[in-house]
Structure 1
Amino acid sequence: MAGTHRIGVFVPTSGPAGIWGPSCRASAELACAEINAAAGGDTVFRLRFVDAGSQPAAVARRAADLIAARRIDSIVGMHTSDVRDALAAAVGRRVPYIYTPLHEGSAPDNVCCLGATPERQLLPALNWLSARYRLRRWYFVGNDYVWPRVSHALAARAMARQGGEVVGSAYVDFDETATDTGRFDAILERIEKRRPDAVLLSLIGQDSVLFNRAFHAAGLARSILRFSCAIEENMLLAMGAAATDGVFVSAGYFAALDTPRNGAFRERYHSMFADRAPALNDLGQSIYEGMARLAVQVTRNRRIAAGVRSDAGFRGLPVYLAEAHGFDFRIVRQLAR
């Protein structure tokens, strides 16, 4: 008789990161269907979606309650790293916990992190962009939590070694209700006065959408390049085509990747969801990779291990640099193999 394994899929469906939720959910549902088909009936996987877009302590309490009630047997999460750290403390080693997105390079030792670190994603892109476009003066903008702070500190040290400089920085709290670009007026005024060559942008979800709309409306995009590791296809749609001019992004996955694996993945994804399909993107697709990793861990069935990003399994995943063109990305180069 087949056993049942219940995966708690912790993804944001509210707050600034909620814009990522539909893509994450769809990728998890596709992965679950494919894993169950490949597992041959020995283990049946079921999904329980949990909103990871609220306060970290609230998400952690929800996880602890579900584990205590034996309603989930594992966690696959795509959410901010402050939520990750709260979850890790609450979960301990009671269930496996796989964290799928990019991250700052350190995490609690009971978490299996799959995403790219700054050494593979952020720093190579900064180096290439600085050389290609002669960018020396940078301004940093991010949400006020661990990933932007740690990533920006690494970037500042790397720039100093190469003769660049950080001419200013600003950090903003998450605002679950913000819809007005005016909250960024003061930051944009400081950017205009400091006259950087480029902005390193580490805002999350809707906060980044609002900032980029305001940046474009202020006329700054004509002379200042923007670079981010956390802008994806849904956000281009929300920003509006005009506001994406001059935006570069590095990530481990883009829907536009022209590879046989991604072509087959896109076909399966759109066959399953048809006109209801949310946009494919790096953060959502990382859930698919995490689900495959978990299934192998639980079943020891290597037939499930084929992800989309690489033939090398979960080691040495590639990272790409892309430029936004309207509502799409065009791949510029591969940064890491």
Structure 2
Amino acid sequence: MSENKKRQKVLVTGSAGFIGFHLSRILIKEGYQVVGLDNLNDYYDPQLKKDRLLELGIPAEELSDYNILIGSDKFENFGFIKLNLEDRINLPVLFSQEKFYKVVNLAAQAGVRYSLENPAAYIDSNIVGFANILECCRQHGVKHLIYASSSSVYGKNKKVPFSTEDNVDHPISLYAATKKSNELMAHTYSHLYGFPTTGLRFFTVYGPWGRPDMAMFLFTDAIINGRPIKVFNNGDQERDFTYIDDIVAGVVKIVNKKNSHGYSLYNIGNSEPVNLLKFIEEIEKKLGKSAQKEMYPMQPGDVERTWADVKSLKRNFEYKPDTTISKGVEEFVNWYKTYYLE
């Protein structure tokens, strides 16, 4: 553990979430002082979020209180606070007290389809919350903000692979619109205040401890429990499935960069699209059980294909995703069985 990292405090918002949990765990091991933040909402089972935090040494019985920084039972360099990004009172207090060196903002209301049902949640967390993060970073001397955008911003773009140079002015879901808004807001802060921001457009992240609303989880859970799976667009879809360890390795490289300047935007994905039916077939192989498929048309807000152009991330940060679909699916299935069946 380097002395520099021991003195550098990093805030990870959404630290009870899928990517935030994995990132926090690696940053802790890297030697940073890490503070995790999450509001533990019930978009999906909060128990899964609490169990992730338990892996980081945060006892569930202490998670009922808001605005209290809890120390980890396992890691001396990790603490957690339950807090909403929309909280204009307590969020600035946290920044003032902790004096963060860098911030990784992963907290957001996730999900394309849910944005059709509850648009207010996306405005509150993804727009108001992100504006609060930007302002706190500016006011309290944070050296670099790294934040989650999404491949959803590409909408129905036909040109592949998707490049950050492509026009993304026509989002087809409110979720995508909020993520595009985040990029614009970050650009404005970088331009006006010389504040370094880096946006990352994540492409279909999967792996152990994954979200229950994502395809990997939904398919595995249904097949194991003998339920049919819903296959949209009759399976004629491709996704740039990216294993969680590859994603986190890329984010850590950006956090580790000593000097950052201005506004940056990158795709972060595997850059190898996989057909949805092939993905399901891989799950079937690992489970030793066939899926009952129910075919459905394309859903509102959904797209036929995602494919990340990651050349700039590879060039600037030596990003090297190398987990095969076979290996990644195996790791998820093994975790699912351990967590739910043992």
| Structure ranking higher in strand proportion | 1
- By relative contact order (CA 8 Å, sep 6+), the higher-ranking structure is 1
Q: Same fold by TM (over 0.5)?
A: no
Q: Aligning the two structures, in what range does the TM-score lie when normalised by the shorter sequence?
A: 0.3 to 0.5
Q: TM-score, normalised by structure 1?
A: 0.40
Q: TM-score, normalised by structure 2?
A: 0.39
